[in-house]
Amino acid sequence: MIDLNRKTWASLIVGLLFSAVALYFTFVNIPLKELIDYLKIINYWWVIPSLVVALLSYVLRVFRWQLILLPVKKTGFWSAFHPVMIGFMMSSVFPGRVGEIARPAIFYKRENVAFSKVLATAGIDRVFDAVALLVLFIYILATVSIDPSLDITFGDYHLTPALLDGLWKTTLKFSLALIGIICLISFSTTREIFNQIILKTPDMLFFAQQPLRQRLREGLCTKVTRFLDNIAVGFDIIKSPLNLALGLALSFALWWLLGLALLLMTFGFPGVEITLLQAMAVEIIICFFIMLPSVPGYWGLWEAGGVFGLMIFGIPATEAAGLTLAYHFFHMVPVIIVGIMSAMIIGVKLVKTVPQETRD
């Protein structure tokens, strides 16, 4: 389900650069022998309950996607579960984050529904994640106590309490703007106004001849309005307050589970003591880091986010690195295994099978 075209290779190269830089600045001051010695004294039995809790978060993701898919098609648990897990597996193994397209592509092929609408639901799924992350990030930064003398360097940058204070305020403004845009696109009346403005945009190009304006209107502008209409299908969930509340509840619950999974891991790591709220903060910081281009599996950026997130709460660099490496490895491998099993069960071949509609 992967096409290693020029764009994919470019994404891989950029990701390698980002990951290499992140790995360098994260581990440059951590003695390798000290890190290896620390990894030898960890109580790995705590991986088991941590992994169980983390896998439960994927079950909540499936429930949420089933909810978002309702305007497109009522879907059974396993029909949603397999594409979700295959998507996460592919993003962990292949470059270019093709798992984001793989999930809707698999569902489209198996359920015979419009690909653009399924793609929109996958996008809305990410919006729910973003809203939950932003809200939790704002709350945590506004309430969690951080050492006022904190000063963590990352290359030429310094992470200080003042920077974090400004960051949560900026995030709050961004979140409110995002919610406003979602509401405007979701309702047909305001979306129609947007569409009309977009379709009339070529008329503002007074220097262009009429045939060119018409081509722009029928080509680019029409595609943009069609994209907004398809996105709105995914946002149909907002028209049901109950479904919207349930979707948000599932979003906050799954991130709470991921925070709990990290907290459970810390019980087996000497020198690491954090609260559940702090563990959730570290999870959120990791997520912000891995939004950047990276190699498959987010190696490098995941470690950078985890180490710096833990150091914010006073965890020494070596212990932070040991926990982050172990947490990443033991939570990534099972997802890959489950994703491969799902692909075998439903007969998905990991070759170029992305539908033509994805290229339009």
Report pLDDT digits (tens) over 22-63: 677 777 778 889 989 999 999 999 999 999 999 999 999 999
Assess contact for 257 and 57: CB atoms under 8 A.
yes
Residue 97 DSSP class: G
Pairing between strand 157-159 and 152-154? antiparallel
Among the ranges given (186-190, 249-253, 292-296, 353-357), the one the predictor scored with the smallest mean pLDDT? 353-357
Q: What is the pLDDT of residue 350?
A: 63
Question: Domain for residue 100, yes or no?
Answer: yes
Determine the Cα–Cα distance for residues 286 and 133; give it in Å rounded to an integer. Answer: 11
The mean pLDDT of the chain is: 80
Question: What are 308's two structure tokens?
Answer: 């710096």
Band of pLDDT at residue 358, cut at 50, 70 and 90: very low
Q: How many CB atoms lie within 10 A of CB 36?
A: 10
Q: Which secondary-structure segment (H or E) carries 278?
A: helix 276-290
Question: Domain for residue 216, yes or no?
Answer: no
Question: Domain for residue 44, yes or no?
Answer: yes
Determine the Cα–Cα distance for residues 205 and 227; give it in Å rounded to an integer. Answer: 23
Band of pLDDT at residue 289, cut at 50, 70 and 90: confident
Determine the Cα–Cα distance for residues 292 and 306; give it in Å rounded to an integer. Answer: 14
Q: What is the pLDDT of residue 353?
A: 44
Determine the Cα–Cα distance for residues 62 and 301; give it in Å rounded to an integer. Answer: 26
Q: What is the pLDDT of residue 335?
A: 93
Question: Domain for residue 225, yes or no?
Answer: no
Question: Domain for residue 271, yes or no?
Answer: yes
Band of pLDDT at residue 175, cut at 50, 70 and 90: low
Question: Domain for residue 229, yes or no?
Answer: no
Determine the Cα–Cα distance for residues 138 and 44; give it in Å rounded to an integer. Answer: 33
Question: Domain for residue 268, yes or no?
Answer: yes
Domain range for 344: 6-189+241-359
Indicate if the pLDDT at residue 323 is higher than 80. Answer: yes
Determine the Cα–Cα distance for residues 180 and 184; give it in Å rounded to an integer. Answer: 6
Question: Domain for residue 141, yes or no?
Answer: yes
> Number of folded domains in the chain?
1
Among the ranges given (71-85, 124-138, 210-224, 345-359), the one the predictor scored with the smallest mean pLDDT? 345-359
C-alpha dist (Å) from residue 293 to 27, 93, 113, 142, 201: 19, 14, 31, 28, 33
Percent of the chain with pLDDT over 70: 77
Placement of tokens 């502008």 in the chain: 221
Indicate if the pLDDT at residue 359 is higher than 60. Answer: no
pLDDT in tens, 93-114: 887 677 888 898 899 888 888 7
Assess contact for 104 and 79: CB atoms under 8 A.
no
Assess contact for 124 and 235: CB atoms under 8 A.
yes
* DSSP letter string, 99-111: HHHHHHHHHHHHH
CA gyration radius, the chain? 22
Band of pLDDT at residue 321, cut at 50, 70 and 90: very high
Average pLDDT over residues 295-304: 83
Question: What are 16's two structure tokens?
Answer: 């390698």
pTM exceeding the 0.85 threshold for the entire prediction: no
**Phi, psi angles (nearest 5°) of residue 349:** -100, 130
Indicate if the pLDDT at residue 154 is higher than 60. Answer: no
Assess contact for 1 and 98: CB atoms under 8 A.
yes
Assess contact for 297 and 332: CB atoms under 8 A.
yes
Side chain identity at residue 127, one-letter code = V
Residue 72 DSSP class: T
